[in-house]
Amino acid sequence: MTELTRRGFNKGLGATTALGALSLSGIAPATAAGKAQVVVVGGGFGGATAAKYIKRFDPKIGVTLVEPSKRFVTCPFSNTVIGGLNTIDYITHGYDALKGLGVEVVHDSAAAVDGAKKQVRLAGGGSIGFDRCIVAPGVDFRWEAIEGLDAGTAARIPHAWKAGAQTLLLRKQLEAMADGGVFVISPPVNPFRCPPGPGERISLVASYFKTAKPRSKIIVLDPKEKFSKEGLFKEGWAALYPGMIEYRNLAEDGLVRRVDPASRTLYTDFGEETGDVVNFIPAQKAGKIAQVSGLADKTEWCPIHPRSFESTLQPGVHVIGDASIAAPMPKSAFTASTQAKVCAEAVVNLLRGAAPGAPKFINVCYSLVGENYGISVAMVYGYRDGRIVKIEGSGGLSPSGATPEFRRKEADYTRGWYESISRDIWG
């Protein structure tokens, strides 16, 4: 069924890439001229996976990873730190395993990726040349979309949607809050990183309150009509945290128009809520390096060829993970990592003068509703007619009304997933 289009696409891609390579550098694919060089920008789930898997597919290819942080703190499982189930150390990973595979790790920020000159300019000065570049910049916030907040106010009203200091700040504020306090959380509009993340955060804060501050309350102001795994989360909240969580969606005046950081008050069209702790998660866009390097379109996300994740705007530069436009795949860590593997295979093949193979992806998003209460949503994706498509009949949500044993198992698998994926990437 897909064979014809697959071939057609391969043919087209093979031809454009070959032409692109010729017109840009005037030479044959890099392997013919010597050791090919790939620069990966960003050392998160997408970038670190890409760096590792290029080496796995072909150790002779030179791989440089540009990442400012020496230690990477994962957004997945950061809700367990906020809820007091894990320490920040548990979700912090280093790059030694990648270095052991021969990846050169440069701890600097990329200032710009120049597809025409085939080089990455570093913020600290100098540049690194590449035959192909993989950009995995994650997300940035659209502060302009909310009145009253900016990067500076995050010290008082944390977003905690990039893990690390922000995660610890939110945890500290929750610890300092008195029993009987109010936690107000406002999830972002679509599309955003980790669609079930706000639901999990609400859950694990509730889990913390239940034991440490049982008179406390959680108010959710959501600008959307529905949210990921809504039925399952609400079933879990009713079972584990009855009466603690008040959820208001768009129709229920959940859209926050303005925030006053000083008083920690959120203003909606018809009302206001003041919290003792406020977690406002802003609207999002592709990370800054994508914006300044001409990789993002007017949606502020990055259009890609879904087979290779090569940018449609900058030949020779690939964009993976949250920053890419890869719908119907969600912006998840699992997605970023599995896209990185497909992209790595494509890059290696393209450097060898061959076309990328057929992509196939799984995404699973596990969430903890409580320490022993896990839920999931899954989907298998393929490629058809130039698009990433859901494989019909696959995927879906955990069943509603499942037994406690089932939920317990999925909580164990949630932890199992984190162990396996973080070891797969960071060793």
Partner 1 sequence: MRRAKFKAAAVAFIASATLASATLASAPAQAEIASGAVLANTCFSCHGTDGKSAGDMPTIAGKSEDFITRKLKAFKSGELEATIMNRIAKGFTDEEIAALAKFFSRR
Considering only CA atoms, which of 77, 19, 70, 35 is closest in space to residue 420?
A: 77
Instruction: Closer to partner 1 by CB, 145 or 378: give it.
Output: 378
Spatial separation of the C-alpha atoms in residues 321 and 343, rounded to whole Å: 10
Q: Which of 188, 254, 330, 359 binds partner 1 (CB under 8 A)?
A: 359
| Binders of partner 1 in range 190-219 (CB under 8 A) | none
> Do 38 and 345 meet the contact criterion of CB atoms below 8 Å apart?
no
Please answer whether residues 69 and 43 qualify as being in contact, where contact means their C-beta atoms are separated by less than 8 angstroms: yes
Q: State in angstroms the smallest separation of the CB of 179 from partner 1.
A: 34
| Residue 415 lies near partner 1 (rule: CB under 8 A) | yes
φ/ψ of 101, rounded to 5, equals: -85, 0
If binding is defined by CB under 8 A, does position 387 make contact with partner 1? Answer: no
Nearer to partner 1, 261 or 357 (CB): 357
Q: Rounded to an integer, what distance in angstroms lies between the CA atom of residue 155 and that of residue 391? A: 43
One of 37, 53, 264, 316 touching partner 1 (CB under 8 A): 53
Is the CB of residue 331 less than 8 Å from the CB of residue 161?
Answer: no
Amino acid at 16: T
Cα–Cα distance between 54 and 44 in angstroms, integer? 15
Shortest spacing between CB 174 and partner 1, in angstroms: 27
Total of residues contacting partner 1 (CB under 8 A): 61
CB of 316 to partner 1, least distance (A): 15
Candidates 31, 86, 249, 372; binder of partner 1 (CB under 8 A) is: 31
- Could you give the CA distance from residue 220 to residue 222 in angstroms, rounded to a whole number? 6
Instruction: Please select the residue that binds partner 1; options are 354, 371, 386, 387, rule is CB under 8 A.
Output: 354
Which residues make Cβ contacts (< 8 Å) with residue 150, sequence separation at least 6?
143
Is position 341 an interface residue for partner 1 (rule: CB under 8 A)? yes
Of 2-21, binders to partner 1 (CB under 8 A) are 3, 6-7, 10-11, 13-15, 17-18
Minimum CB separation of residue 10 from partner 1 in Å reads 4
String marking each residue 394-413 x if it binds partner 1 according to CB under 8 A? xxx-x-------x--xx-xx
Q: Of 26, 152, 242, 393, which lies in the binding site for partner 1, with binding defined by CB under 8 A? A: 393
H or E segment and range at residue 133: strand 132-135
Answer yes or no whether residue 358 interacts with partner 1 by CB under 8 A.
Answer: yes
Between 140 and 200, CB nearer to partner 1: 200
Residue with tokens 């393209």: 350
Among 161, 280, 334, 426, binds partner 1 (CB under 8 A): 334
Minimum CB distance to partner 1 smaller for 122 or for 380: 380
Residue that the structure tokens 């949250």 belong to: 322
Task: Give yes or no for a contact between 310 and 339, defined as CB atoms under 8 angstroms apart.
Answer: no
The yes or no reply on residue 24 touching partner 1 (CB under 8 A) is no
Closest CA to 43 of 427, 399, 426: 426
Options 29, 148, 198, 199; binder of partner 1; rule CB under 8 A: 29
**Distance from C-alpha of 323 to C-alpha of 138, rounded to nearest angstrom:** 5
CB nearer partner 1, residue 323 or residue 364 = 364
Q: Which residue stretches of 253-319 are H helix?
A: 288-292
Strands 92-93, 72-73: parallel, antiparallel or unpaired by DSSP?
A: antiparallel
Q: How far from chain centre, in Å, is Cα 10?
A: 28
379 binds partner 1 (CB under 8 A): yes
Binding site for partner 1 (CB under 8 A): 3, 6-7, 10-11, 13-15, 17-18, 29, 31, 53, 57, 334, 337-338, 341-342, 345, 348-349, 352-362, 364, 376, 378-382, 391, 393-396, 398, 406, 409-410, 412-413, 415-424
